[in-house]
Amino acid sequence: MASIKRHASAAWHGSGKDGKGSLTTQSGTLKDTPYGFNARFGDGGGTNPEELIAVAHAGCFRMATAFQLSGAGHPPESLQCDATLTMEQEGGGWTIKAVHLVLKAKVPGIEPGKFKELTEAAKANCPVSKVLNAAITLDATLG
C-alpha cells in the first residue's frame, strides 16, 4: 500500500485571546504565516485553520472531479471551485458543521445527469471530504 506524508507546524506564544501564532508548511507555501484570535474569530489579518481547511477541500474536490470526469472520457476544460466552511459554537467550544462547495465547470460534450453523477462521486470520495465530520453540500454548474 502506497503512503504519502506531509508535514506542517504551528507555533503559539501567549494566551488564547491575546497570543499570536505562526504556521509553516513542508512545501514552504506557508512560512511563519501569522494567525491569532482576531484572524480566526474576527476580521483580523493572517490566516486561520478553518480557511486552510476550506481551501484544502476546494483543491482536493476540484482535482477529484478532474479525475472522475477524465476517467469517464470527459476531460474538463476548466473547473473553478469555492468552498465555504461554517463553524458554530456549541457549549464551550466550536465545531465545523458544514462545508458548501460551489463548482463552475466547462466540460465539453457531457450530459448534465452524468456531470452530476461524477461530481457527487468526487465530493464523496475526495480525501478531504472523507476526513471531515461535517455536512458537505455541492452546487455544481456547467457553463
For 16-63, what is each residue's pLDDT tens digit? Answer: 999 999 999 999 999 999 999 999 988 888 999 999 999 999 999 999
d(CA 69, CA 118): 6
User: 69 CB contacts (<8 Å, ≥6 apart)?
Assistant: 75, 76, 105, 107, 110, 115, 118
pTM comes to: 0.93
**Tell me, what's the pLDDT at 44?**
86
CATH superfamily of 49-142: K homology (KH) domain (3.30.300.20)
- As a whole number of angstroms, the longest Cα–Cα distance in the chain is 56
Task: Kindly report the average pLDDT of the chain as a whole number.
Answer: 96
Indicate the pLDDT class of residue 11, thresholds 50, 70 and 90.
Answer: very high
> Dihedral (C-alpha) 79, 64, 96, 81: value to the nearest 10 degrees?
0
Confidence band (pLDDT; 50, 70, 90) for 66?
Answer: very high
Domain-wise residue ranges, the chain: 8-41, 49-142
Is the pLDDT reported for residue 1 higher than 90? no
